[in-house]
Amino acid sequence: MHKLILPLLTATLLASTGAVLAAGELTYVVNNESAKYDPGTTAETFAAPIIGNTFEGLVRFDKDGEVIPALAESWEVSEDGLNYTFHLRDAKWSDGKPVTAGDFVYAWDRVLDPATGAMNSAMLYPIVGAEEHYAAAGKGDIAISAPDDKTLEFTLKARVPYMMQLLTYTTFFPVRKDVIEADPEGWTRDPATFIGTGPFRVTEFNTGKSVVFEKNPNYYDADAVSLDKLTFRLIPDPATALAAMEAGQVDGIESVPAPEIPRLSVESDAFMVVPALGTTYAFFNPHQAPLDDVRVRKALSMAIDREEIVEFVLQSADVPAIALVPYGININGEDFRDGTDNFGLETTAQPEAAKALLADAGYPDGEGFPDTVFVTYSSPPIEKLLEAIQQMWKKNLNIDVKIQATEWQVFYPEVQKVEYQIAQMGWGADYPHPMTFLDNFVTGSPNNLANWSNPDYDAAIAAAKATGDEAESLAEMRKAEAIMMNDHVILPEYHRNNYMMMSPKVTGFWRSTLNVPYFRDASIAE
């Protein structure tokens, strides 16, 4: 089932949902609260709205998906694609201190120190010496330097065609050494120390309630920022958030309840469908019974009806997924998904084949199937999804799987320990390239939450990165995905779109396919 994911979407809104706030103030509802907002170390999607509006790196995406200057006003890349030189503009931190090239050197070196627990250290591995530095517990030379305060240089081991896209991600953002060393654990939770480089700065962290921002007067392009105050209000239940939106109490909500999508798509011009490069899936733990048998993992995946899930459970325009990488990522002139295998899966259920496979694994008609728990984070839509899957497994395989939901701050650390049997997760792209999904399954990746390892997979990923030939790289990435998918490490569910609302009084707002809402250019009419 093929649905093309469109480029980044700009919101120019036309309808009549009234907000009661004063001009220059905007309130936006988020449904989840992150455990940490450290741009260098986090990989949590829930942190993206805060970090994306308080920090910028060398470059950023514009609303059309093009890489444009941010803290760097210009740069040069050597003819062989290995040497990068960036020239910083006269930018300041939100407390007024100048941004220097040394801030980037410190930030990147920090990401490559295992002691910091950075989730995306591997993003820096293309840099000469970076991987070795990480392996040596943060020791050894790295080809990153600051010849002066306004010049940053680094050298790659091999050409990386998507390097400029990588640099837009938070892992490459600068952070301040003096701020972090003063309070390594708490600096991102105190407005006085959450010092950034973006268009807004935090004035209040109200845990469990809201995050409040004001325009950053020290932002290099502060004249382009219209909003004086921005509030992210936490409302976990999308139905409650929608009620607040329709009552005019807030200006925008990041998601709407699935059952309301058909109505809102007809009745409200404030309703938006934002394409997203994301895949929702569950991890199977291949180290815990009964999921240590690939036949069991495959049977569970074959027994669910993804089309039914999308149409009747999600009631959305999402795309049933039978693989990891979503549609909409083009390499060498073709979509990554075109021409790939289905790994023995269909978008509809295959109950007879699934039953036969489960019987072959020693559980005929589900008999003797061990107690199994499917863990998830607390979220009404996700819990509804899991209940549907639970029912499909009962109907098609005659097995009973329990569902256990806990708050994200409890759930995620437990999943990181890989002590679950089945865990609901997913991944949204950090940059528009297949590697943002595939890198997570390399041996030892902090985001490899199944602790799965396959040397052939690792070799294919390494080969994809090493070649300068895009066609060859594409072939190796497809080979890697097939290795992982044929081992059924994940239960793919659907490729995501985002369904949200924003008042027609707001212009200039946009939300990227990487799931970051940007308010830099937003303004709100009186």
Mean pLDDT confidence for 168-185: 97
- pLDDT on residue 9: 36
In which band, very low, low, confident or very high, does the pLDDT at 153 lie, cut at 50, 70 and 90? very high
State percent of the chain over pLDDT 90.
84
Nearest to 27 by CA among 289, 231, 312: 231
CB atoms within 10 A of CB 68: 10
Q: What angle, rounded to 10 degrees, do the helices at 351-360 and 380-397 form?
A: 70
Cis bond leading into 290, ω under 30°?
Answer: yes
- pLDDT on residue 34: 87
Nearest to 123 by CA among 463, 470, 525, 446: 446
DSSP symbol at 370: P
Chain-centroid distance of CA 393 in Å reads: 29
For residue 185, report the phi and psi dihedrals to the nearest 5 degrees. Answer: -95, -30
Mean of pLDDT over the chain = 92
In which band, very low, low, confident or very high, does the pLDDT at 23 lie, cut at 50, 70 and 90? low
- pLDDT on residue 84: 98
- pLDDT on residue 35: 76
Write out the DSSP string of 383-440.
HHHHHHHHHHHHHHH---EEEEEE-HHHHHHHHHTT--SEEE--EE-SSSSTHHHHGG
In which band, very low, low, confident or very high, does the pLDDT at 13 lie, cut at 50, 70 and 90? very low
State percent of the chain over pLDDT 70.
96
Mean pLDDT confidence for 63-88: 95
Structure tokens at 2: 């093929």
- pLDDT on residue 127: 97
One-letter identity of residue 115: A
- pLDDT on residue 19: 38
For residue 189, report the phi and psi dihedrals to the nearest 5 degrees. Answer: -110, 0
pLDDT digits (tens, 9 = 90+) for 478-503: 999 999 999 999 999 999 999 999 99
Cα 470 to Cα 161: distance, rounded to the nearest angstrom:
8
Buried b (16+ CB within 10 A) or exposed e, 299-328: bbbbbbbbebbbeebbebebbbbbbbbbbb
Cα 488 to Cα 354: distance, rounded to the nearest angstrom:
13
Mean pLDDT confidence for 16-26: 56
- pLDDT on residue 431: 86
The strand ranges marked E within 236-365 are: 252-253, 271-284, 319-320, 330-331, 334-335
Q: What is the pTM of this model?
A: 0.80
Structure tokens at 153: 């240089």
Lowest mean pLDDT among 164-178, 305-319, 386-400: 305-319
- pLDDT on residue 207: 93
For residue 281, report the phi and psi dihedrals to the nearest 5 degrees. Answer: -155, 170
In which band, very low, low, confident or very high, does the pLDDT at 17 lie, cut at 50, 70 and 90? very low
